[in-house]
């Protein structure tokens, strides 16, 4: 039976630590501020944004949600982001994804200033972590590291297999594990004989968005399995891993819900505080 890696409990630890750090910052007059831009009325996105606002309130971060209509013109959205870039009271800006289909996500994300890009999706920030000088890591990827480190699961020298290569999770997670000296194999939609790779994994990250993609025959005995999938099946939330069957074989496993998801929100708070602190240091440097 695998050890269950309790994301809710780890997220709570992260937020407890942050609450103290934010309270000290507020005493110096710095109130970290996050703005979340939500376009359209996707129910899941609205629910994630509510979780983000609640977590911000919980740790003492000032959070604002800017709701925009689904049919907003691209240039109008860009102008709104540019206003946030110029607002000195705002330290962190996030555009909730996915955006409606008429909007060019790459173009939009390029208009979040790299110093306020709390998701780490701007090309400058991708370049920074790809070249070994990360400003920060995307929230879910940072959450995966937090789970591994707080659970004392070694990374260096281990074989890590990532299934999926998305901007939000798969690609940055491969870069992060590589930066922590894992031997990394990145699999994707066109990988032939996926199982041949997943069975080599000491750390298996499933981030493909496909329920039951990973079963017991896809996993090495004792492996750490991190399930990043968020799929709604028959009214229930499930990951990409057949949890009940894989639990028997893995050494450690994250559940869905209650695994990586809560860390995505907690690490958004941590990234916000990090950006606010950098902003403060730079301001002091100019005095
Ligand atoms: N700009 C971004 N957009 C999106 C991101 C992101 O990191 N930045 N990630 C996902 C959605 N997401 C946050 O935005 C997110 C997903 C899941 C959870 C979560 O806590 N899940 C819970 C279950 C919640 C439920 O019942 O629905 C869990 O897994 O336990 C939080 C945030 C896509 N968009």
* Residue closest by Cα to atom 33 of ligand 1: 97
200-243: per-residue pLDDT in tens?
Answer: 999 999 999 999 999 999 999 999 999 999 999 999 999 999 99
Indicate whether 134 pLDDT > 90. yes
With cut-offs at 50, 70 and 90, classify the pLDDT of residue 286.
Answer: low
Distance CA 9, CA 158 (A): 25
| pLDDT attached to residue 102 | 98
Distance CA 8, CA 220 (A): 26
Which of helix, strand or coil describes residue 226? strand
59 in ligand 1 pocket by Cβ < 6 Å?
no
Residue 48 Cα to ligand 1 middle (Å): 5
* 192: Cβ contacts below 8 Å, ≥ 6 apart: none
137 in ligand 1 pocket by Cβ < 6 Å?
no
* 130: Cβ contacts below 8 Å, ≥ 6 apart: 175
Q: What letter does residue 224 receive in the DSSP assignment?
A: E
* 30: Cβ contacts below 8 Å, ≥ 6 apart: 276, 277, 280
| pLDDT attached to residue 185 | 98
Distance CA 198, CA 188 (A): 11
State the chain's mean pLDDT as an integer: 97
Residue 110 Cα to ligand 1 middle (Å): 22
250 in ligand 1 pocket by Cβ < 6 Å?
no
Which of helix, strand or coil describes residue 147? helix
100 in ligand 1 pocket by Cβ < 6 Å?
no
With cut-offs at 50, 70 and 90, classify the pLDDT of residue 285.
Answer: confident
**Burial profile 151-166: b = 16 or more Cβ within 10 angstroms, e = fewer:** eebebeebbbbbbbbb
Q: Is 164 annotated as a binding residue?
A: yes
* Residue closest by Cα to atom 14 of ligand 1: 48
With cut-offs at 50, 70 and 90, classify the pLDDT of residue 283.
Answer: confident
239-271: per-residue pLDDT in tens?
Answer: 999 999 999 999 999 999 999 999 999 999 999
147-177: per-residue pLDDT in tens?
Answer: 999 999 999 999 999 999 999 999 999 999 9
Indicate whether 106 pLDDT > 80. yes
Residue 271 Cα to ligand 1 middle (Å): 15
Q: Does the CA dihedral 154-155-156-161 come out positive or negative? A: positive
Q: Is 199 annotated as a binding residue?
A: no
| Cβ-based burial of 113 (10 A; exposed 0-12, middle 13-18, buried ≥19) | middle
**Ligand 1 atom with least separation from CA of 7:** 30
183-192: per-residue pLDDT in tens?
Answer: 999 999 999 9
Which of helix, strand or coil describes residue 21? helix
Going from the N-terminus, what domains does the chain have, and what CATH number goes with each?
Answer: 28-116 (3.40.50.10860), 139-261 (3.40.50.720)
The model scores a pTM over 0.95 = yes
Question: Which residues are part of the catalytic machinery?
Answer: 52, 96, 119
Residue 263 Cα to ligand 1 middle (Å): 9
In a mutational test of the pocket of ligand 1, which residue from 261, 268, 272 has the highest number of ligand atoms less than 8 Å from its CB? 261
ipTM of the complex: 0.98
Which of helix, strand or coil describes residue 161? strand
Percent of the chain beyond pLDDT 90? 98
With cut-offs at 50, 70 and 90, classify the pLDDT of residue 284.
Answer: confident
| Helix H or strand E segment including 262 | helix 260-285
């Amino acid at each position: 039976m695998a050890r269950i890696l309790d994301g809710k409990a780890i997220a709570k630890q992260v937020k407890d630590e942050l609450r103290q750090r934010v309270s000290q910052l507020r005493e110096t007059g710095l109130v970290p501020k996050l703005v979340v831009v939500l376009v359209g009325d996707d129910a899941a996105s609205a629910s994630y944004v509510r979780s983000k606002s609640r977590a911000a309130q919980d740790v003492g971060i000032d959070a604002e949600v800017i709701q925009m209509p689904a049919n907003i013109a691209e240039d109008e959205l860009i102008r709104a982001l540019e206003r946030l870039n110029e607002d000195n009271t705002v330290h962190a800006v996030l555009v909730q994804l996915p955006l409606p289909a008429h909007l060019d996500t790459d173009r939009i994300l390029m208009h979040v200033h790299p110093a306020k890009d709390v998701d780490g999706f701007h090309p400058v920030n991708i370049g920074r972590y790809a070249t070994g000088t990360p400003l920060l890591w995307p929230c879910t990827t940072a959450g995966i590291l937090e789970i591994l480190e707080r659970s004392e699961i070694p990374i260096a020298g281990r074989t890590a297999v990532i299934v999926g290569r998305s901007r939000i999770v798969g690609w940055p997670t491969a870069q992060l594990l590589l930066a922590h000296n894992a031997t990394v194999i990145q699999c994707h939609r066109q990988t032939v004989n996926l199982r041949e790779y997943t069975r080599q994994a000491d750390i298996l990250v499933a981030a493909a968005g496909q329920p039951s993609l990973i079963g017991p025959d896809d996993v090495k005995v004792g492996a750490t399995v991190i399930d990043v999938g968020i799929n709604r099946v028959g009214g229930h939330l499930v990951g990409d891993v057949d949890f009940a069957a894989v639990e028997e074989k893995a050494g450690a496993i994250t559940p869905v819900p209650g695994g990586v998801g809560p860390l995505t929100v907690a690490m958004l708070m941590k990234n916000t505080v990090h950006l606010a602190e950098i902003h403060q240091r730079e301001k002091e440097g100019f005095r």
